[in-house]
A and B are shown apart, each in its own frame.
Chain A
Amino acid sequence: MRAQPKWVNVVVPLAIALAVLIGWEAWVRIAEIPAYVIPAPSLVWSTLISDWPTLWPSLLVTLKITFLSLLLAVAGGVALAFLFSLSPWVELSLVPFAVVLQVTPIIAIAPLILIYAPNTLTALLICAWIVAFFPILSNTTVGLRSVDRNLDDLFSLYGASRWQRLRFLLAPSALPYFLAGLKIAGGLSLIGTVVAEYAAGTSGKESGLAYRILEASFRLNTPRMFAALVLVALTGILIYFLFNGISRLLLRKWHESELDASR
């Protein structure tokens, strides 16, 4: 009874998703709901295919900004976390700024950033970065503080250099916490990108999915809105599984959070 075959984990969610889609299609057809109110899944699918030449490049743009901003968030968050662990004074002075950045609604400041950044791409990256960097900063900071005291003493005993301590003790100790933050930040960088794109409109030559959604709403093209939304949702799911997979890969041998239940 305990051990479920692996395929169950995949089949059950898929079956439920399929049931939802069928229910949705049936409801639209039976209640004769017009396409401009709620399009049926079949219509969304055919729109996805017919509008692919427009939606695909936009998807790439959104992906590009999402991952680029995430990369910058990781770099910034980790660097700041190490800085904080080295100097409590630095931490004390910078934490208020970090918190302010976190709680400010990006939808309110995005328009301002968009005006004053040198180009739209930079502005979008800044917006998404602001949203994504805090979980990485705060989680990694906690991780660096969670080093086993005795291990720390052991490293001191053997005269470990600062670099040795960083590489062999601090980094691995903080890794599970960092990965937890990364899982959160992954989704947030997508959200930040979408919100920024919404405020930005088109970024010159390239327009992301959020703009396509906005544009479709202006043009009363509800099926295309849904098609673009589906792509955004799929991107979110992709990111979720990607970072969960990375976390699993790195931690499965030793950390409680990723061990098999069978152990």
Chain B
Amino acid sequence: MESLIELRRVGKTFANGTQALAGMSLSIEQGEFVSLLGPSGCGKSTVLRMIAGLAEPSSGEIVGGAGKGARRDAHDIGFVFQEPTLMPWAPVLDNVMLPLKLKREPPGAAREQVGQALAMVGLEKFARSYPRELSGGMKMRVSIARALITRPKLLLMDEPFAALDEMTRLKLNDDLLRLWQEFGLTIVFVTHSVYESVYLSSRVVVMAARPGRVVADEKIDAPYPRDEEFRLSPAYAAACRRVSQALHGAAAPAEAM
């Protein structure tokens, strides 16, 4: 399968001299659920932003993203931030509709799509609510609905569940997997949680910091749909151990499950 996104020896140095990435190469296939796992400062968020076209690489190139030189069709990409990033002055309906409004879609059709998107995340009753009236988990679901409203091929998520409590996080993990399967998305998911990355992804790319680079690329072969059972299985534990070792710099070569 031809890769959807390809990073070729991408480097990024910020204006203040920090080298966020050095010689990073990565290939993402269509339909994959890839986690970028690493400690703070390893450049994982920077990778995401570059794919989205929000930052430019200092060296190397990115093929297939929304950056300069690439096909600039931003509607193919959805982005979910760590904060829900909703417009506080607008109700949920207008927040989810924003991408369509910016694309200048006619409001009637747009509203229908919004209704569907909200149903996807189970918030159809809250179309008229304001963000401040929602819980953290609900706001994150609105953010996801917004990211999906344009039916993107690629969904980029930057530690979206980090600020939520455990139970909400687990629930949203399952909701996310469901959406991924339903819509055939490709997801690049940044996280610093080993457990989360193993549970969700088909592939975990482990990164290290200073300079940011890939140190391991583990396949998680467990079948989908995954559920609580998987979380309690030995296969899960083994995968977590492998990934964890890679994260903490152990020399043991990766072993496919």
Q: Tell me what chain A mostly uses at the interface: helix, strand, loop, or mixed.
A: helix
If over half of B's interface residues share one DSSP class (helix, strand or loop), that class is named, otherwise mixed; here it is: loop
Chain A residues positioned under 8 Å from B240 (CB to CB): none
Partner of A255, one of B66, B74, B88, B102: B88
- From the candidates A148, A150, A158, A164, name the one contacting B75 in the complex (CB within 8 A): A158
State which of B49, B89, B101, B103 has its C-beta within 8 Å of the C-beta of A254: B89
Task: Give chain B residues whose Cβ lies under 8 Å from the Cβ of A255.
Answer: 88-89
- Which of these, A153, A157, A168, A263, contacts B77 with CB under 8 Å? A157
Tell whether, in the assembled complex, residue B87 and residue A172 are in contact, meaning their CB atoms are under 8 Å apart.
Answer: yes
Flag whether B52 is at the interface (Cβ < 8 A). Answer: yes
Instruction: Give the distance to chain A from B155, nearest Cβ to Cβ, in Å.
Output: 12
Q: Is the CB of A153 within 8 A of B74?
A: no
Q: Is the CB of A158 within 8 A of B99?
A: yes
Is A184 part of the binding interface, using a Cβ–Cβ cutoff of 8 Å? no
Interface pair B101/A168, CB less than 8 Å apart: yes
Asked if B130 and A253 sit within 8 Å, CB to CB, the answer is yes
The docked-state distance in angstroms from the alpha carbon of A253 to that of B101 is: 22
Q: A150-B83, A157-B74 are known contacts. Are A254 and B130 too (CB-CB below 8 A)?
A: yes
For B, the interface residue count at a CB cutoff of 8 angstroms equals 25
Give chain B residues whose Cβ lies under 8 Å from the Cβ of A156.
53-54
The answer to whether the Cβ of A112 comes within 8 Å of any Cβ in the partner chain is no
Within 8 A of B (CB), among A136-154: 148, 150-151, 153-154
Docked Cα-Cα span, A170 to B53, in Å, equals 21
Contact A157 B89 (CB under 8 A): no
CB-CB nearest in chain A for B72 = A159
On whether the beta carbons of A159 and B74 are closer than 8 Å, the reply is yes
Interface centre among B75, B79, B87, B102 (most CB of A within 10 A): B102
Assess whether B85 is in contact with A151, with CB atoms less than 8 Å apart. yes
Task: Please determine whether B54 and A157 come into contact, CB atoms closer than 8 angstroms.
Answer: yes
Q: How far is the CA of A254 from the CA of B79 in the complex (A)?
A: 24
In the complex, which of the residues B74, B85, B103 contacts A150, with contact meaning CB atoms closer than 8 Å?
A: B85
Against A, the Cβ 8 Å flags (1 = close, 0 = not) of B132-145 are: 10000000000000
Assess whether A242 is interfacial by the CB under 8 Å rule: no
- What is the CB-to-nearest-CB distance from B114 to chain A, in angstroms, rounded to a whole number? 15
- Could you list which residues of chain B lie within 8 angstroms of chain A, going by C-beta atoms? 49, 52-54, 66, 72, 74-75, 77, 79, 81, 83, 85, 87-90, 98-99, 101-103, 130-132
Query: Would you give 12 A-B contacts (Cβ < 8 Å), ordered by A?
Result: A150-B85, A151-B85, A151-B87, A153-B49, A153-B81, A157-B54, A158-B102, A159-B72, A168-B87, A172-B87, A259-B132, A263-B132
